[in-house]
């Protein structure tokens, strides 16, 4: 029922669209999600109709998979009898919190895929908790039942324990369980699979996931949950139709979260079909659609058939708190590895990224060959840089800095709510590390299951470099999520423990003879035979100072020991290799990372010794 403006009570009829089901799918990397979706598409004829579709259709970009994260939501659509089933992929972990919430907003249920041998991954706890908070009931699929060491009974109890720890309701705890061998396309309600198909899973989805509900006679309403870009259609606004019907060429209103209204005429209307989009003549409640022709559309905008619509509750888009500067590679090795080296190529790629990635901001810096990129944290920015590197781009990347905001007479820094989930035995050391970074404990929850959840208020700069330290302290089992809260005056100094660096003083190739004599001063970053140039950082100095070294030095001619080269190599300590995130955390203010398709190197911003701005 709804109150009318005259004080009368108007009865609003709720209707159900039974021929659609929308659900999100959640799984850890390599737990069988993509294989399961491929098998569903094959058995519902999508892949047979479109043999050109790639294998592993829900697989994340390679750069994201290596970091155990599916960073961008995808969707597939398949038909089971008269019912269309839309499956939305979710980012696999907490680092992409706003994307998780926007994806779950379009779903009415969740498919939780778990390896029957490895069991549930702690990295999925945040996404699972968000789904439970949204009231979504899970369907549990135990994958890889053909594994010789599968332990389905134990894994089901582990899942039930995690759901109870996340305060699941009785309805959510009473979840259906299906046992699956997706590689052979078999699924069953019992561990004894036998022969069959994935029909039991499809039938369970129809029986368990609620059909979309809408108000009869309502006009078209939709909230933009994602953006994509098509070379022919332009920018696409993606979302779920909440009510009413929509046709191509229809004139609609775009209402911003601030209440501004703009009229637009649709240029195209597409609906999910298989792994792609298909143009349709009509869309209705529950359909997942992509609309083109809407100028300046943003995530969170309300689209409506009314001329003066009210905005729907705003969707959260994580605010950028960390920024880096990307510039043209001017190293002596520039252009040797990648075809895309010019500032124009960097500009075109970055501007193409922001057409579809609402979590990234790109701005000019005042210099023609450099651009400032802002995002949520180092991981998000590192994934973008890694993707560009693999596409053939070369660039220089600066040390991450926080995004400050001018306050009343002083600069304010972003402060965030940090949520940590780890085993009880690590709580002490983790809390100590967070407090050293100006973090304050605000809440601690312990259900007695062996894990505890703590909430902290911490400045964003305190999170730079914290992720790797946290994972190391918790032996890789800790879960971390942080959400922007507010801008506040600086909370105080955060102690740093930066060591010195060793910088090459000339070009050439590193030698075993030079490395053997330098490794007593600290850790070395290069191997014998690696090309180096003047200004390249070749090691970390054990004392807090910078030294220029000759890492190309060779043994003096006329040595009396013929076995000296072999002895030198035998005494070498393996070089220290860093991931891109670790390299960004290691940088000082006057240093950058040279990124190429083949390698990345640490170097001084100004290569010549006389140009240095850092005190030795």
How does pLDDT run across 397-438, given as a tens digit for each residue? 999 998 888 766 678 899 988 989 889 999 999 999 999 999
Average pLDDT of the residues in 495-509? 85
Please list the residue range(s) of the chain that carry CATH number 3.30.70.240.
411-489
Please give the torsion angle defined by the CA atoms of residues 235, 239, 241 and 242, in that order, rounded to the nearest 10 degrees: -130
CATH 2.40.50.250 residue ranges for the chain: 500-611
Which pLDDT belongs to residue 588?
85
Specify whether the CB–CB gap between 287 and 452 falls below 8 A: no
Tell me the per-residue pLDDT of 55-67, one tens digit each, with 9 for 90 and over: 555 554 555 444 4
Of 287, 553, 390, 414, the residue nearest 64 (C-alpha): 390
pLDDT value of residue 385: 93
Distance in angstroms (rounded) separating the CA atoms of residues 452 and 429: 13
d(CA 245, CA 184): 40
Q: Between 402 and 613, where is the model more confident?
A: 402
Mean pLDDT of the chain: 85
- pLDDT-derived band at 484, boundaries 50, 70, 90: confident
What is the rounded CA–CA span in Å between residue 79 and residue 64?
Answer: 30
Q: Which two tokens stand for residue 99?
A: 């994307």
By C-alpha distance, which of 237, 247, 232 is closest to 280? 247
Domain 214-304 matching CATH 1.10.10.10: the answer reads no
State the span(s) of the chain assigned CATH 2.40.30.10: 214-304
Domain 15-211: CATH class, spelled out: alpha beta
For the cut 60, the answer to whether the pLDDT of residue 565 exceeds it is: no
Sequence-separated (6 or more) residues with CB below 8 Å from residue 594? 329, 331, 333, 394, 396, 600, 601, 602, 603
The reported pLDDT for the residue numbered 323 is 93
d(CA 103, CA 106): 6
State the pLDDT at residue 558: 54
Q: Could you tell me if 349 and 339 are in contact, meaning their C-beta atoms sit under 8 angstroms apart? A: no
* Tokens 């309701």 found at: 169
**pTM: predicted TM-score of the whole model, two decimal places:** 0.74
Q: Which of 140-149, 249-258, 488-497, 498-507 has the lowest mean pLDDT?
A: 488-497
Of all residues in the chain, the percent with pLDDT exceeding 70 is 87
Q: Give me the architecture of the 500-611 domain, per CATH.
A: Beta Barrel (2.40)
Concatenate the DSSP letters of all residues of 77-102 into one string.
Answer: EEEETTEEEEEEE--SSGGGHHHHHH
The full length of the chain comes to: 616
Are the C-beta atoms of 533 and 550 separated by less than 8 Å?
A: no
Choosing among 1.10.340.30, 3.90.550.10, 3.30.70.240, 3.40.50.2300, the CATH entry for 411-489 is 3.30.70.240
Taking only the tens place, the pLDDT of each residue in 266-314 is 999 999 888 778 899 999 999 999 999 998 898 889 999 988 888 998 8
How far is the C-alpha of 171 from the C-alpha of 182, rounded, in Å? 27
């Amino acid at each position: 029922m709804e109150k009318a403006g005259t004080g009368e009570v108007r009865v609003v009829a709720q209707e159900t669209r039974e021929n659609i089901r929308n659900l999100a799918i959640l799984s850890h990397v390599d737990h069988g999600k993509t294989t399961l979706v491929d098998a569903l598409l094959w058995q519902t004829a999508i892949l047979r109709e479109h043999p050109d579709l790639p294998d592993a259709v829900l697989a994340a970009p390679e750069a994201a998979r290596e970091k155990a994260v599916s960073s961008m939501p995808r969707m597939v659509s398949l038909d089971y009898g008269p019912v269309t089933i839309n499956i939305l992929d979710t980012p696999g972990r907490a680092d992409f919190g706003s994307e998780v919430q926007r994806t779950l907003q379009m779903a009415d249920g969740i498919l939780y895929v778990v390896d029957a041998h490895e069991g549930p991954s702690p990295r999925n706890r945040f996404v699972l908790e968000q789904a439970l908070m949204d009231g979504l009931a899970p369907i549990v699929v135990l994958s890889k039942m053909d594994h010789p060491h599968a332990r389905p009974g134990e894994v089901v109890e582990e899942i039930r324990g995690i759901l109870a720890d996340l305060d699941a309701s009785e309805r959510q705890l009473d979840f259906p369980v299906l046992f699956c061998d997706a590689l052979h396309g078999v699924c069953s309600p019992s561990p004894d699979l036998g022969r069959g198909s994935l029909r039991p899973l499809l039938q369970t989805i129809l029986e368990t996931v609620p059909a979309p509900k809408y108000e009869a006679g309502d006009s078209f309403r939709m909230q933009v949950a994602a953006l994509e870009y098509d070379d022919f259609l332009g920018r696409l606004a993606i979302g779920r139709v909440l009510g009413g019907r929509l046709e191509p060429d229809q004139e609609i209103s775009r209402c911003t979260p601030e209440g501004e209204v703009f009229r637009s005429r649709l240029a195209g209307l597409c609906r999910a079909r298989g792994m792609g989009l298909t143009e349709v003549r009509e869309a209705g409640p529950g359909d997942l659609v992509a609309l083109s022709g809407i100028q300046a559309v943003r995530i969170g905008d309300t689209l409506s058939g009314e001329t003066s619509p009210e905005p729907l509750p705003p969707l959260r888009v994580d605010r950028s708190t960390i920024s880096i500067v990307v510039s043209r590679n001017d190293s002596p090795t520039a252009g040797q590895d990648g075809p895309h080296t010019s500032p124009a190529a960097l500009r075109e790629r970055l501007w193409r990224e922001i057409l579809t990635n609402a979590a990234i901001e790109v701005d000019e810096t005042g210099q023609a060959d450099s651009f400032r990129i802002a995002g949520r944290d180092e991981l998000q920015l590192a994934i973008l840089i890694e993707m560009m590197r693999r596409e053939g781009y070369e660039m220089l990347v600066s040390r991450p800095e926080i995004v400050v905001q001018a306050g009343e007479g002083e600069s304010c820094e972003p402060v965030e709510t940090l949520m940590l989930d780890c085993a009880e035995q690590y709580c002490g050391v983790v809390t100590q590390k967070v407090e050293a970074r100006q973090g304050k404990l605000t809440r601690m929850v312990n259900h007695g299951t062996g894990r505890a959840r703590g909430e902290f208020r911490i400045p964003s700069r305190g999170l730079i470099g914290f992720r790797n330290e946290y994972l190391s302290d918790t032996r890789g089992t800790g879960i971390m999520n942080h959400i922007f809260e507010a801008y506040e005056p600086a909370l105080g100094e955060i102690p740093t423990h930066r060591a010195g660096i060793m910088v090459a003083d000339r070009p050439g190739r590193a030698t075993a003879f030079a490395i053997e004599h330098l490794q007593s001063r600290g850790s070395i970053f290069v191997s014998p035979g690696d090309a180096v140039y003047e200004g390249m950082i070749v090691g970390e100095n054990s004392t807090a100072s910078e030294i220029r070294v000759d890492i190309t030095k060779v043994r003096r001619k006329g040595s009396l020991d013929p076995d000296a080269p072999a002895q030198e190599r035998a005494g070498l300590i393996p070089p220290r290799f860093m991931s891109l995130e670790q390299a960004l955390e290691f940088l000082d203010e006057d240093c950058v990372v040279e990124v190429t398709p083949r390698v990345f190197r640490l170097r001084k911003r100004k290569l010549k010794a006389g140009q240095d701005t850092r005190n030795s």
